[in-house]
Structure 1
Amino acid sequence: MTGPESEGSPVRRAVCPGSFDPITNGHLDIIARASRLYDEVFVAVMINTSKKGLFDVDERIGLIREVTAEYANVRVEAHHGLLVDFCKDRDIPAIVKGLRAVSDFDYELQMAQMNNGLTGVETLFVPTNPTYSFLSSSLVKEVAAWGGDVSHLVPPQVLAALGDRLRKD
Structure 2
Amino acid sequence: MRIGLYPGTFDPVTFGHADIIRRACRLVDRLVIGVAINRDKGPLFPLEERVALLEGEIAPLAAVTGAEIVVHPFENLLIDCAREVGAGVIVRGLRAVADFEYEFQMVGMNRALDDSIETVFLMAEARHQAIASRLVKEIARLGGDVSRFVSPEVRAALARRFAAG
Aligned amino acid, residue 164 of structure 1: R
Decide which structure has greater helix share: 2
Larger Rg: 1
Structure 2 unaligned residues grouped into runs of 5+: none
Aligned amino acid, residue 158 of structure 2: L
Superposed CA deviations along residues 4-34 of structure 1, whole A, max 9, x for unmatched, are xxxxxxx000011000000000001001111
Q: Provide the residue aligned with 1:133 in structure 2.
A: 129
State whether structure 2 residue 19 is matched by structure 1 residue 29: yes
Question: TM-score, length-normalised on structure 2?
Answer: 0.93
Q: Provide the residue aligned with 1:46 in structure 2.
A: 36
CA RMSD of aligned residues (A): 0.9
Runs (4+) of structure 1 exceeding 2 A deviation are none
Q: Provide the residue aligned with 1:106 in structure 2.
A: 101
Question: TM-score, length-normalised on structure 1?
Answer: 0.91
> In 1, Cα distance between the equivalents of 2:84 and 2:72?
12
> In 1, Cα distance between the equivalents of 2:52 and 2:120?
26
Preserved CA contact (<8 Å) 2:58 2:69? yes
Number of equivalent positions: 159
1:17 to 7, 32, 39: 7
Q: Provide the residue aligned with 2:48 in structure 1.
A: 58
Structure 1 unaligned residues grouped into runs of 5+: 1-10
Aligned amino acid, residue 114 of structure 1: M
Aligned-pair identity in percent equals 43
2:119 to 101, 113, 123: 123
